[in-house]
């Protein structure tokens, strides 16, 4: 089963200010396709954001706007399972930017590789993307949208390998996780299933 991994970088603290996106198409074994683009956010950059990802206003002057790029992104995202590291951020960027441009939401399910990593490798001292990459011998340029998306995809592949399954739904069942979903101007996040409490009384 194919899944899509994404990562956004933003120009400032506003969630509707994406200035770059990386998209990776993968399955449980390999990366199949990749897409990267700078995005003109049509607003000013904050120095802190540029310090993190290295993208400047000059870099995006000739880049497409999110609205211009959306038909391409929609083909990747709609009706697929999408993963991101710290998905609450990336999905918020997606939703807020769609709202900003008055674009309809795609129908898509999503997962967070932070939560997956916490479940599969609970003994790591933290579950940041660079920590996970180092623990699995993956080298990459952190805060480059395509490279971050690529590592998130590899984290999910490694997690499925650790749980010895090639089927995403079976993996999620073993993790006791459910997928989040974005739909027509609504969403709900991925969740851990609650364990059934015993009905026994202890006296």
- Take residue 103 and report the two structure tokens written for it: 């674009």
| CA 96 centroid distance within chain | 15
Given a contact cutoff of 8 angstroms between Cβ atoms, the answer to whether 53 and 21 are in contact is no
pLDDT band at 202 (very low <50, low <70, confident <90, very high): very low
CA atoms within 13 A on the CB side of 2: 14
pLDDT for residue 5 is more than 80: yes
| 118 burial type by CB count under 10 A (0-12 exposed, 13-18 middle, 19+ buried) | middle
Q: Which domains, ranges and CATH numbers included, belong to the chain? A: 3-192 (3.30.420.10)
| 18 burial type by CB count under 10 A (0-12 exposed, 13-18 middle, 19+ buried) | buried
pLDDT band at 185 (very low <50, low <70, confident <90, very high): confident
pLDDT digits (tens, 9 = 90+) for 67-121: 999 999 999 999 999 999 999 999 999 999 999 999 999 999 999 999 999 999 9
The whole-angstrom separation of Cα 61 and Cα 57 is 6
Contacts of 89 (CB under 8 A, 6+ apart): 8
Considering only CA atoms, which of 76, 2, 1, 93 is closest in space to residue 39?
A: 93
pLDDT digits (tens, 9 = 90+) for 93-104: 999 999 999 999
The whole-angstrom separation of Cα 11 and Cα 21 is 12
pLDDT for residue 171 is more than 90: yes
Read off the pLDDT of each residue in 1-6 and give the average, rounded to a whole number: 94
The whole-angstrom separation of Cα 21 and Cα 104 is 19
pLDDT for residue 195 is more than 80: no
């Amino acid at each position: 089963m194919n899944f899509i991994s994404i990562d956004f970088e933003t120009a400032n603290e506003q969630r509707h200010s994406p200035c770059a996106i990386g998209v990776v198409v993968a399955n449980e074994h390999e990366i199949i396709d990749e897409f990267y683009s700078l995005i003109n956010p049509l607003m000013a950059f904050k120095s802190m954001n540029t310090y993190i990802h290295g993208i400047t206003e000059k870099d995006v002057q000739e880049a497409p706007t999110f609205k211009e790029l959306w038909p391409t992104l929609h083909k990747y995202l709609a009706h697929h399972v999408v993963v991101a590291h710290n998905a609450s951020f990336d999905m918020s960027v997606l939703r807020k930017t769609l709202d900003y441009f008055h674009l309809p939401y795609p129908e898509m399910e999503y997962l967070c590789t932070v939560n997956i990593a916490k479940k599969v490798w609970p003994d790591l001292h933290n579950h940041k993307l660079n920590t996970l990459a180092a623990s699995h011998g993956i080298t990459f340029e952190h805060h480059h949208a395509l490279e971050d998306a690529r590592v998130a995809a590899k984290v999910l592949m490694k997690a499925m390998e650790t749980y010895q399954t090639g089927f995403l739904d079976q993996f999620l069942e073993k993790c006791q996780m459910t997928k989040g979903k974005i739909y027509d101007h609504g969403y709900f996040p991925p969740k851990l299933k609650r364990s059934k409490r015993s009905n026994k009384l202890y006296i």
